[in-house]
Amino acid sequence: MERKFRLLALVGGGRRAKEFLELLDKKACFGCVLGVADPDQSAPGLQFARERGLLATPEYRDLYPLFGLEVLVEVTGSDAVLEQVLRTRPAHVTVIDHTRARLVTESLAGLADPIWAEELLRRPEAADYREIFEAANDAVFVLDAETGHVLDANRKVTEMFGYNRYEAVRLDLDALSAGEFPYTGERALPGVKRAAAGQSVLAEWRARDRAGRPIWVEASMRGFMLGGQVRVLAVLRDVSQRKRAEEELQQANAELQRLSRLKDEFLSMASHELKTPVTSIRILSELAARRPAEINPSHMAAIARQSDQLARLVNDLLDVSRLDLGRVPVEVRPVDLTELLRDLCERLRPVYERHRLVCRLLQAPATVAGDRARLEQVFANLLDNAAKYSPTGGRIELGMSRRDDLVVVEVADEGIGIAPEDLPHIFERFYKPVAQQAVFPGLGVGLYISKRVVERHGGRIWAETEPGKGSTFFVELPLAQEVH
- Is the pLDDT at 153 greater than 80? The verdict is yes
pLDDT above 90: percentage of residues in the chain: 40
Residue-range definition of the domain harbouring residue 258: 243-325
- Domain shared by 393 and 458, yes or no: yes
* Interval 207-221 mean pLDDT: 93
Return the closest-CA partner of residue 138 out of 151, 158, 157, 164.
Answer: 157
Residue 177's SS3 state is coil
Examine residue 483 and state whether it is found in any structural domain, yes or no: no
Examine residue 385 and state whether it is found in any structural domain, yes or no: yes
pLDDT per residue over 159-180, tens digit each?
899 988 768 877 899 998 988 8
- Is the pLDDT at 1 greater than 50? The verdict is no
pLDDT score of 260: 76
- Domain shared by 210 and 154, yes or no: yes
Overall domain count for the chain: 4
- Domain shared by 313 and 186, yes or no: no
pLDDT per residue over 252-271, tens digit each?
888 888 777 766 666 555 55
Confidence band for 228, pLDDT divided at 50, 70 and 90 = confident
User: How far from 332 is each of 28, 336, 419, 447, 451, CA to CA, in Å?
Assistant: 75, 12, 36, 21, 17
Task: Among 238, 273, 307, give the residue marking a domain's end.
Answer: 238
Confidence band for 109, pLDDT divided at 50, 70 and 90 = confident
- Domain shared by 354 and 415, yes or no: yes
Distance CA 147, CA 185 (A): 10
- Domain shared by 470 and 341, yes or no: yes
Confidence band for 2, pLDDT divided at 50, 70 and 90 = very low
> Lowest-confidence range among 104-113, 132-141, 293-302, 456-465?
293-302
> Lowest-confidence range among 182-191, 305-314, 357-366, 425-434?
305-314
Examine residue 79 and state whether it is found in any structural domain, yes or no: yes
Task: Among 108, 135, 162, give the residue marking a domain's end.
Answer: 135
- Domain shared by 345 and 461, yes or no: yes
pLDDT score of 107: 78
Distance CA 399, CA 409 (A): 6
**CA geometry: angle at 193 spanning 144 and 197, to 5°?**
105
- Is the pLDDT at 218 greater than 90? The verdict is yes
- Is the pLDDT at 442 greater than 90? The verdict is no
Examine residue 484 and state whether it is found in any structural domain, yes or no: no
* Interval 449-476 mean pLDDT: 92
* Interval 124-133 mean pLDDT: 59
- Domain shared by 130 and 142, yes or no: no
Distance CA 149, CA 198 (A): 18
- Domain shared by 223 and 294, yes or no: no
pLDDT per residue over 343-381, tens digit each?
999 988 888 888 999 999 999 999 999 989 889 889 988
**CA geometry: angle at 459 spanning 457 and 460, to 5°?**
135
Task: Among 325, 355, 379, give the residue marking a domain's end.
Answer: 325
Burial class (CB in 10 A: 0-12, 13-18, 19+), 148: buried
Distance CA 232, CA 146 (A): 9
User: How far from 48 is each of 41, 155, 191, 236, 321, CA to CA, in Å?
Assistant: 11, 17, 38, 29, 70
> Lowest-confidence range among 122-136, 215-229, 441-455?
122-136
Which CATH number goes with the domain that contains 81? Answer: 3.40.50.720
Residue 392's SS3 state is coil
- Is the pLDDT at 316 greater than 50? The verdict is yes
- Is the pLDDT at 332 greater than 80? The verdict is yes
Output the average pLDDT for the chain. Answer: 82
- Is the pLDDT at 91 greater than 50? The verdict is yes
